[in-house]
Amino acid sequence: MPGSPPALLGVRNLRGAVLPVVRLAAVVGAQGGEAPKRVLVVEEESGAAAGFAIDEVLDVGEIGGVDEAADSALLTSQMLTDGGELVGLLDVGRVLAVVRGGATP
């Protein structure tokens, strides 16, 4: 979408509403993400919806042991260990704030 923040992939039609889609890989600084296949729809506390372009959904589950010590990393509000794997818990509001911050005319 012309003139939009660089982390924004574009807008798409979601059941008659206009949904901005965020290049999630660009925001979190991850490798790849050139051709994301799916869009995960998220909603902020304020009710604003957005889409995150992702490769795939690995699992949907409840979160157990949350390690709150790692809250200095700004995009991931908390980290948790799931079966020995370190998983970042994305703070949707902060991700969207970063996208907003990079807006150009």
Residues forming the site for another protein (CB under 8 A): 1-8, 11-13, 16-18, 20, 22, 26-29, 46, 48-50, 72-75, 94, 96-105
Nearest distance from residue 2's CB to another protein, in Å?
Answer: 3
CB of 42: closest distance to another protein in angstroms? 11
Whose Cβ is closer to another protein: residue 16's or residue 64's?
Answer: 16
Shortest Cβ distance from residue 15 to another protein (Å)?
Answer: 9
Closer Cβ to another protein, 13 or 83, answer by number: 13
Give Cβ neighbours of residue 51 (< 8 Å, ≥ 6 apart).
12, 14, 19, 20, 21, 22, 39, 40, 41, 42
Report the nearest approach of another protein to the CB of residue 101 (Å). Answer: 4
Residue with Cβ nearer another protein (49 or 63): 49
Q: Is 104 exposed, middle or buried (0-12, 13-18, 19+ CB in 10 A)?
A: exposed
Q: Report the relative pairing of strands 49-54 and 17-23 from DSSP bridges.
A: parallel
